[in-house]
Structure 1
Amino acid sequence: MAEADPIASLSPAGERYFNRELSWLAFNQRVLEEAMNRAHPLLERLRFLSISGANLDEFFSVRVAGLKGQQLQDVDLRSADGLTPAQQLGAITETTASLMRAQQKVWGALHGELVQVGIEVIGPSAEMDVGCAGWLREHFLTQIFPILTPQALDPAHPFPFIPNQGLSIVFDLERLSDKQPIRELVMIPSSLARFVRIPGEPMRYMALEAVIRRFSADLFPGYRVRNSGVFRIIRDSDIEIEEEAEDLVRYFRSAIKRRRRGRVIRMEIEERIPEPVEEMLQDMLQGHEAIVVEVEGFIGIGDLSGIVDADRPDLKFEPYAPRFPERIREYGGDCFAAIRAKDIVVHHPYEAFDVVISFLKQAASDPDVVAIKQTLYRAGKQSAIIRALIDAAEAGKSVTAVVELKARFDEEQNLMWADALERAGVQVVYGFIDWKTHAKVSMVVRREGDQFRSYCHFGTGNYHPITARIYTDLSFFTADPAYSRDAAALFNYITGYVEPQRLEKLVMSPRDLRDTLCACIDAEIDHVRAGRPGTIWAKMNSLVDPAIIEKLYAASNAGVQIDLIVRGICCLRPGVPGMSENIRVKSVVGRFLEHSRITVFGNGKALPNNGAKVYISSADWMPRNFDRRVEFLAPVENPTVHDQILDQVMVANLIDTEQSWVLDRDGHYTRLEPGDRPFNLHRYFMTNPSLSGRGAAQEHGAVPTLRLRGRA
C-alpha cells in the first residue's frame, strides 16, 4: 500500500489547515506514484512521470515565484496555516528535493523496463554499427548543427539571456594549437525535439544534449573537450495585472514578452558538472536568489513525453472512442430538438466533445439562429469552436465572444483568437481587469415561430477539444427559459458591468457563490438539529478557502456526514476529533484527469436520494474562485440528469478503489487497496452508457446501478 509524503504544516495554525503549497506537492507525488503503478501500460507510466516533471516546472514558475517575490520585497503575508513566505520556501525546497530524487529513481526503473521491451535511451558514447553512426552524424550536421550558435564566455562576451525552461551545455575546451583554455555556451533551441530517434530496431533514442556531446569535435574543430555540463533554468512566468492598465490587450502583449525574461527561480545542474562551471553559473544568477538543484540523472523530466509518442500501441492504453449521445441521434443530429425535448448532460471524455462543437456548428449554419454568446477561457490551438463562431459572424449573426486574456499560459493564443474573431465581425469582449472570466457558458438565441427561444450550455471544463479527451467534465444543455434569462444576465454583467439584481437559477461569483454554499451547509446543520440526516458530497479540484473550510468544520461538529473528492490541493484536515471527525477526503488519480465540480446536499435525507440538491459549477473552492473570478453554480433539477450526476458520477467516484487515495488527519495520502470487489470508475464509464444520453435506448438496456458500500 503506497503512502505519499505528509503535508502537515509547521505552525500552530496548521492544526486547522494544511499548507496549500505542500498539499499541491503531495498531489504531484500521487501523480508520480502512478508512474510505478503496474496496472498501467509501460509508456503510460512514463507519461505520468513526464507529467509530474511538467507540473513541477509550472509550480516553480508560478507559485514559488510568487513566494520568492514576497520574500525579496519583505512582504510578511502568511498562509492560512500561519507560515511566512520564507518558511514556506524552506519547506518547499526540502520537499521538492525529495520529489526530484524520487523522479530520477522512477526514471531509472522505467529506463530498465523500457530496454526489456525494445526501447532504449542511449548516451553519447553508446556503441552502434557503422550505418547508424553515419546516419546520426549526418542528422547532426544537417538538422542540428545549423541551428546551434556556440557563444564564448569571456569578458568580451557577457553571459547571454537564457529563456524559461532553457536547456544549455557549457563546454570547457582547450585549443589544440596553443593549449589555451576557452569556455563555450551552447543553448539548445526549444524548436528542436529533445530526443532523436535512431532508425532501426530496437527503438533507440538519444537526448539532444547527448548528440551534441557526441559530435562536439564537429561543433568545435581544433579544440579538445576537457569537461562539459548541462543545466536548465526555470523563470518567473506569472503575469501581474496593473489595476490602471488602460488597454488590456496592449498590456498583455507586452507582459507576455516580459514573462520570457522573468527572474530565475530554479536552476538544475548536472551533479557531475565541473566546479568552476558551477561557480560561473552561480555568479550568473547573482541577484536572482534562485534555488539551485544538482541532478543525478536526466534533467528536464517533463521532456520524457517525447518518448511516450513512440509507435508502440502495445505499451499504451487501448484507444478509446467517445460515444456520441444517442438522445441527439434520435433527433437526426438536431441538437436544438433534443435539448428542447429535455435537458441533457454530456459526460466527457466518455461522451464526445463533438456534441458541443455540433451545437455551435448547427447554430452557425441555422438561418433561424440570430445570436450566439460564448465565453472562451481555453480553446486550444486548433479550435472548431472558434471556427464555428467565425462562420456564424460571417453568416450575419450577432456573435459575442468573451475572451479571457488572463488564462495563464494561454494568453498569447487567446490574443490570436481574439484578432481572428474581430476580423470576422465578432464582438470581442475582454471582461474585467481585476477578475478572470472562468465560467464556461454558451448561449444561442433562435427564432421559433413568432418568438425567440434560447439554448444554453454550461460546462465544468474548457471549450478545448484536446483536454476534453483526457479531462472528466460535464456539459449541461438546457432550453429552460429561467436558465436562459440568467445566462443573458451573466453575459450582460461581463460585457456591460450590469450587475444582476435577481437570478432565478444560477449563482455567480464574485457576487454570492461562497454565501450560497455556506447557506446550503447551514441548511444541512439545521436538518441534523431537527433530527434528520445531514449529508454533503462534493467533488472538486482544490479546496483552499478558509471560510468554507470553517463552515465544513462546523457542519462536522453538528453531525453532518461529509464526503469530499478533492483531486489536488486540500487544505482541510479531515478526521480530527472535535473538529472534522465526520469529514472524509479522497483523491482520484488515474487514466483521466478528474476535473468536474459537483456539489450535493442531502436535503434532510441520506445520500443518494431523489430530493437531494445537486449543483454543477465552474469553480473550485478557493479564494480566487469566490472573490476574483466570474464563475457559476447551476442547480440540476431534471430527474434523469439529476440521477446521472448523483447516482452515477458521484457514487462511482466514492466507491472507486483502484485509483483512489485517502487523506488522513496528519496529511498522509494512502492508496486504497482494491479489495475483493475492485472498482475502477474510469473503466466503468468507458464501458457503460450515461443515463441522460441514452434517450429511448434506455428502455432497451438498463444502465448498471451503482451502490454505496458500507454506508447507510
Structure 2
Amino acid sequence: FMKRVGKLRALMKRIEAQDPLRSKVTKAYVQSLIEKVNELSGRSYENLSQDLLPRLDKAGIHLTTPEELSFQEKKGLRAVFDSQVFPLLTPMVVDNGHPFPLISNLNLSLGFVVKRTGKTQKNFVRVKIPSVLPMWIQVPSTNGKRKQFINLCDLILMFQEDILPRVEVESTFSFRVIRSLENQSRSEPEEAEDLLELMAEEIRLRKYSEIVRIEYAGNLHPWARQFLQRELEVKPEDFAQIPLPLAFKKIDAPVQLKIPKLRYKTFESQTPAPFAKDESTLKAISKGDILVHHPFDSFSDSVEAFLKEAADDPQVLSIKMTLYRAGSRSPIIESLSHAAMNGKSVICLVELKARLDEERNIQWAKKLEAAEVHIIYGVLDLKTHAKICVVVRKEGDKLKTYAHVG
C-alpha cells in the first residue's frame, strides 16, 4: 500500500483532469488490487488461527485473551501494567480545544469513544501504543511448562479505567494508518538543487503524506468511523477490518523463546572453493572468473573479503562501486572508509532512492564523505540497482582491473 497503491493514487490525481479515461482505468485497477490484498490477508489470518496458533498451543505456547485468565494471572498482569506499561501511556482527547494529533505511519493506536457521565456528547480519545514495548507480554504464571502471552492492546484494555477515569467508554478498537511513500507536495527533480536535498526533504514530508489505508480491529463505532474519515480525510473504502488483533502482525516475544525443537536449524553458508584454497581473494580471481551464489556461498568470505583485502593492499590504487542498500553495521562501509584513509582513490555511487532505506543511505553517504570517499548521489530520473565494484591494482608496470558484478 505504501509503495504501489500510494503511487497509483498519486498518478490518478495528477492525470484526473488531463486524461479522465486513464484515471478511471487506474482507479479500477487499484480497487481490484485492494480486493486481492484483502483476500490474501483473509487467507493468511485463517491459516494463523486454524493452523499455526493450535500448533503453538500444543507446543506449550498459548496466545491468550483476558477472558481466559485466572484471578491470579490477572493479578500478576496488574503488577506488570502498573510498573512497565502505565507510565508510558498518554491518552489524547480530540475536541474543539484539542485538534487531531498527527498519526505516524504504521504506528499502532487504541481508539476510544467516550462521554462524560450524564452527558450525551461523544469524544474521541487516542492512546498511542509505545513502540519501545514488546507487542506481546508474558503472563506471570506458576506453571513452568505452559507459557502464556497476552497482546499489549488487550493488557491496556484490561485496565483502561486507569487511563480513562470518570468517563463512560462506548467503544474501543485498535487501528493503524498506512501512508503513501509518494509526497504530493515534493519538488520535481529538475527543480531541486541536488538529489541529497530532494531526498532529505521527501523523508521529512513523508510523515504528512496521504493516508491510503486504515486497518482496524475491534468495535469501530459508526460515530468513530465518520469522525476518523473526516479528520484524516479518507474515504469509506479506505477502512479495512482485520479479523484478528493487529498485534498479530508482530508476534515478537513468543518467537524469541529459546525452544530448539520449534526452531529451524541455523543455516550456514559455505566458503566458495576457490577462496577456500587461496589466502588471497585477488589471487583467486586472477586465475579466472568465479561464480558465487548467495546465500549458499558466503557473502562475507567472498565479496566482503575481496573489498577488505583491496582496502588493505598497498598495490591497490582505486576502488569504485555502487551501493544500493547497506545494513546498520556494514563491513562494506568500513572497508570503503578504510581504503580512503589509506590514501586510495575511492568513488562510490550511493543510491538515495532505495525504498525505505533512503534515510540510512543518506547517513552512510555522509559517513563515507567524512572519510574522504568521493560520493555520487545517484541519478535524478533513474534508480541504480546494480551491484558493481571495480578494483584497480598496480602489478609490475601495468594496471590490472578486478571486478565484482552482482
Q: One fold, TM greater than 0.5?
A: yes
Q: 2:260 aligns with which of 306, 309, 313?
A: 313
- How many residues end up aligned between the 2 structures? 396
Which residue number in structure 2 is paired with residue 262 of structure 1? 209
Contact 2:322–2:350, Cα closer than 8 Å, also in 1: yes
Which residue number in structure 2 is paired with residue 246 of structure 1? 193
SS in 1 for 2:95: coil
Which residue number in structure 2 is paired with residue 21 of structure 1? none
Which residue number in structure 2 is paired with residue 389 of structure 1? 336
CA distance in 1, matches of 2:202, 2:25: 28
CA distance in 2, matches of 1:173, 1:266: 24
Instruction: Report matched runs for 1:624-635 at 5 Å.
Output: none
Q: 1:351 aligns with which of 297, 304, 316?
A: 297
Which residue number in structure 1 is paired with residue 64 of structure 2? 122
Which residue number in structure 2 is paired with residue 102 of structure 1? 43
SS in 1 for 2:317: strand
CA distance in 2, matches of 1:78, 1:189: 45
Q: 2:30 aligns with which of 69, 89, 93?
A: 89
Q: 1:416 aligns with which of 363, 370, 382?
A: 363
Q: Deviations over 1:577-599 (max 9, x none)?
A: xxxxxxxxxxxxxxxxxxxxxxx
Q: Deviations over 1:485-540 (max 9, x none)?
A: xxxxxxxxxxxxxxxxxxxxxxxxxxxxxxxxxxxxxxxxxxxxxxxxxxxxxxxx
CA distance in 1, matches of 2:256, 2:223: 38
Contact 1:405–1:430, Cα closer than 8 Å, also in 2: yes
In the alignment, does 2:349 pair up with 1:402?
yes
Q: 1:367 aligns with which of 308, 314, 317?
A: 314
Structure-2 change in CA distance of 1:407 and 1:178 (3 Å): closer
Q: 1:335 aligns with which of 281, 286, 301?
A: 281
CA distance in 2, matches of 1:261, 1:301: 26
Instruction: Report matched runs for 1:17-166 at 5 Å.
Output: 60-73=1-14, 74=16, 76=19, 84-109=25-50, 110-128=52-70, 130=72, 132-166=73-107
Which residue number in structure 1 is paired with residue 155 of structure 2? 211
Structure-2 change in CA distance of 1:182 and 1:63 (3 Å): closer
Which residue number in structure 2 is paired with residue 494 of structure 1? none
CA distance in 2, matches of 1:61, 1:288: 16
SS in 2 for 1:362: helix
Structure 1: give runs of 5+ residues left out of the alignment.
Answer: 1-59, 460-712
Return the offset for 1:226. 3.6
In the alignment, does 2:263 pair up with 1:322?
no
Structure 2: give runs of 5+ residues left out of the alignment.
Answer: none
Return the offset for 1:391. 1.1
CA distance in 2, matches of 1:250, 1:183: 38
Structure-2 change in CA distance of 1:429 and 1:190 (3 Å): same
Structure-2 change in CA distance of 1:138 and 1:452 (3 Å): farther
Q: TM-score, normalised by structure 2?
A: 0.89
Return the offset for 1:353. 0.8
Structure-2 change in CA distance of 1:253 and 1:306 (3 Å): farther
CA distance in 1, matches of 2:248, 2:219: 18
Contact 1:267–1:290, Cα closer than 8 Å, also in 2: no
Return the offset for 1:181. 6.0
Q: Deviations over 1:79-98 (max 9, x none)?
A: 8xx98112102212322222
CA distance in 2, matches of 1:144, 1:346: 48
Contact 1:159–1:284, Cα closer than 8 Å, also in 2: yes
CA distance in 2, matches of 1:105, 1:177: 42
Give the root-mean-square deviation of aligned CA atoms: 2.6
The letter for the 2-side match of 1:395 is: N
Identity of aligned residues (%): 34
